[in-house]
Amino acid sequence: MSLSVLSPDAVCSERMAARRVIEAFENGAEIDDATLDRVLGLRIAAVEGRLDTLALLDRYGVQRFDQGDLTYEVVRAFHHALAPEIHSRPDLRLLDLGCGYGRFGLYGAILHNLTAHGLELVAERADEARRAAAGLGLERVTFESGDMLQAVWPAADVYCLMNSVLPDLLPPVVERLRAEALARRIVIASVSTSNRAFADADWLRPLPVTAEGVAGRELRIWESV
């Protein structure tokens, strides 16, 4: 998909095609991650192929910048768990901290017209996510390159922290989320090491997640109290 040649009609038809595939996936069709990336317009292998670990270390210092985007099985489980909130609050805002290629936001925007912002350390990934959003005409999804430890966070209602920072860097992120929760009720979704930090937080309580496989084992969601 090359943006320069896409007319508004073509953008709309790309979006409709992506929606049909995502709806089929929602209804249980077996669709692999590569196909879902393709319909969203994400060229992950091509971008990753141009990245160099030593150059990333030079640019960003010691951070968890390996790619490791979560499988769409987890993306789907996240959106299922959030569906009641999304339907009762059309203005709901998602902030994906360490968004990689923006799978969570792009998927939610196609399916629910969700408003989402992704913050990603590696500029090339944020650029690719932004390009994919433009190619689908998703005006409510934005992506920015930046370090979540330093960047300004746009206000949000739902936050994703999907295995995106090293455990040592987690405490200030959890503290910033707690400060956000003083201003309004927030929901936090997480996998892996951050699950333990959130499970220990007395300002959060768990929300149910019904999912099988890796999503059932890994995905946890909390709301602030």
Ligand X SMILES: C[S@@+](CC[C@H](N)C(=O)[O-])C[C@H]1O[C@@H](n2cnc3c(N)ncnc32)[C@H](O)[C@@H]1O
Residues that bind ligand X (CB under 6 A): 63-65, 67-70, 96, 98-100, 103-104, 119-122, 125, 147-149, 160, 162-165
The nearest distance, CB 102 to ligand X, in angstroms, is 7
The nearest distance, CB 105 to ligand X, in angstroms, is 9
Closer by beta carbon to ligand X, 6 or else 120: 120
The nearest distance, CB 108 to ligand X, in angstroms, is 12
Closer by beta carbon to ligand X, 10 or else 179: 179
Closer by beta carbon to ligand X, 6 or else 116: 116
What gap in Å lies between CA 22 and CA 27, rounded to an integer? 9
Determine contact, residues 48/125, Cβ cutoff 8 Å: no
DSSP lists the bridge partners of residue 205 as 223
The nearest distance, CB 131 to ligand X, in angstroms, is 16
Which of 111, 108, 105, 132 shows the shortest CA–CA distance to 23?
111
Q: Dig out the tokens for 63 from the structure.
A: 């951070």
Task: Name the E strands within the chain.
Answer: 93-97, 115-120, 141-145, 158-162, 187-191, 204-207, 220-224
User: What is the Rg, in whole angstroms, of the alpha carbon atoms belonging to the chain?
Assistant: 17
The nearest distance, CB 224 to ligand X, in angstroms, is 21
The nearest distance, CB 30 to ligand X, in angstroms, is 20
Closer by beta carbon to ligand X, 59 or else 185: 59
Closer by beta carbon to ligand X, 78 or else 204: 78
Rounded (to 5) percent helix, strand, coil in the chain: 50, 15, 35
Who's near 114: CB < 8 A, 6+ residues apart?
86, 92, 94, 105, 108, 140, 141
Closer by beta carbon to ligand X, 14 or else 73: 73
